[in-house]
Amino acid sequence: MTVAAEIVVEGRVQGVGYRDYAQRHAERLGLVGYVMNLKDGRVRARAEGPREMIEEFVRALEKGPPLSQVSTVNVRWMSSTGRFAGFDVRFAGFEP
């Protein structure tokens, strides 16, 4: 069964390769969705796939790449939309 999660990560997570790290882990786990920087310094990820794989993804996000310092990871579970074909890094336009 496919589910979705919106994951917001706080700490030193911008300018440290965090989005690329998240993308690599999501692709390895077979997840689809996106990761993006927020203008307030946090990172938001949207992942869809099996719940067990998303939970493993969240554990990877809690660690982060070597230069990051993750302080908080918030996960909100939701229904899958099925609209994503892969896992992308989004650059354009900061969202609130």
Q: Which of 43, 50, 1 is nearest to 19 (CA)?
A: 43
Catalytic positions: 19, 37
The domain locations on the chain are 2-79
pLDDT at res. 1: 85
pLDDT at res. 96: 47
> Which CATH code for domain 2-79?
3.30.70.100
Classify the phi-psi angles of 33: left when phi > 0, otherwise alpha if psi is within -120 to 50, otherwise beta.
left
- pLDDT 10s digits, 11-70: 999 999 999 999 999 999 999 999 999 999 999 999 999 999 999 999 999 999 999 999
pLDDT at res. 93: 57
- pLDDT 10s digits, 66-92: 999 999 999 999 999 999 999 999 986
